[in-house]
């Protein structure tokens, strides 16, 4: 499933190529046939992203909400578009730019109030300039679930998926099994900073490359640049910091990758015991 960096990158591309154009809309697949006419003839005024959700603002207060989910894809054409696939849910066409949307989890029209209500249910998005660290910290601290589980809850922090949680927790040197309610302020600051750095770099560059990520065969000269990771999908390979084999364990139905040494659980402070032979007060 595309994580927040991909959705924000799509929003930037759509603002650059599509905003200001008037589109005709149809649904080759037929599942959006009743809604598509409400977009035809309208100018696209803005495109916004919040976590994994994409919002296209058309004139007249019509909003298109898209969540790609696991199987959704968006294809863009700047001139002559290829014929849509049978799975194309929505096609927005103009003389100079065309968008084809296939297989999304959600594709719906919203009013401005309905969009605001949906976004209010989502957690803070680290890529938003006005995102509140305090609200994000408080939202995580409300649950006893492991921090690795809490990070995938989009109502707490929006836009984080399996890759980003693994890499951010590694960069913050946090055990993925730490109860979110035990998260301390300095821990959260490291985690939030890591998430923002990863998201900003990936939204700009189109790939996730954490600091000190080891090279792969795909990063050799002459090969297309690809994502590179420190721990994600690197089970049994050496940690780039300590060379300990990266571990993989199932957690909440997803594979969790981490370094058992760099991200060892925090030890609880031992309670002071009375000296031998001395009576307790």
Contact 2, 74 (CB under 8 A): no
Res 217: pLDDT: 54
Res 218: pLDDT: 53
Q: Which residue has the tokens 């890591």?
A: 194
User: Which domains occur in the chain, in start order?
Assistant: 4-121 (3.20.190.10), 133-216+228-258 (1.10.8.50)
Res 224: pLDDT: 46
159-176: per-residue pLDDT in tens?
999 999 999 999 999 999
Res 209: pLDDT: 84
Question: How far is 188 from 209, CA to CA, in rounded Å?
Answer: 21
The catalytic residue positions are 2-3, 52, 254
The stretches in the chain having pLDDT less than 50 are: 222-224, 270, 272, 277-281
Res 276: pLDDT: 52
pTM above 0.75, yes or no: yes
- Strand 98-102's sheet: what is its strand order? 24-26, 88-93, 98-102, 73-77
């Amino acid at each position: 499933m595309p994580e927040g960096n991909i959705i924000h990158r799509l929003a930037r591309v759509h603002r650059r190529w599509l905003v200001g154009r008037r589109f005709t809309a149809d649904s080759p697949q037929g599942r959006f046939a009743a809604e598509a006419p409400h977009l035809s003839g309208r100018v696209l005024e803005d495109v916004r992203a919040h976590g994994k959700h994409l919002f296209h603002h058309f004139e007249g207060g019509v909003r298109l909400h898209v969540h790609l989910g696991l199987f959704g894809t968006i294809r863009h054409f700047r001139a002559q578009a290829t014929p849509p696939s049978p799975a194309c849910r929505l096609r927005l066409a103009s003389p100079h730019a065309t968008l084809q949307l296939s297989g999304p989890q959600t594709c719906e029209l919203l009013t401005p109030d309905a969009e605001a209500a949906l976004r209010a249910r989502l957690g803070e998005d680290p890529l938003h300039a006005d995102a509140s660290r305090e609200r994000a910290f408080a939202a995580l601290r409300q649950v006893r679930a492991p921090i690795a589980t809490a990070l995938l809850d989009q109502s707490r922090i929006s836009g984080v998926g399996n890759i980003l949680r693994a890499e951010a927790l590694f960069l913050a040197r946090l055990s993925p099994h730490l109860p979110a309610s035990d998260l301390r302020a300095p821990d959260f600051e490291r985690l939030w900073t890591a998430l923002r750095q990863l998201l900003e770099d990936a939204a700009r560059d189109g790939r996730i490359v954490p600091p000190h990520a080891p090279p792969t065969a795909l990063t050799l000269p002459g090969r297309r640049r690809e994502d590179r990771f420190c721990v994600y999908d690197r089970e049994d390979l050496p940690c780039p910091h300590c060379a300990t084999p990266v571990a993989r364990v199932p957690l909440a139905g997803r594979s969790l990758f981490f370094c058992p040494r760099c991200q060892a659980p925090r030890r609880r402070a031992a309670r002071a015991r009375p000296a031998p032979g001395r009576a307790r007060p």
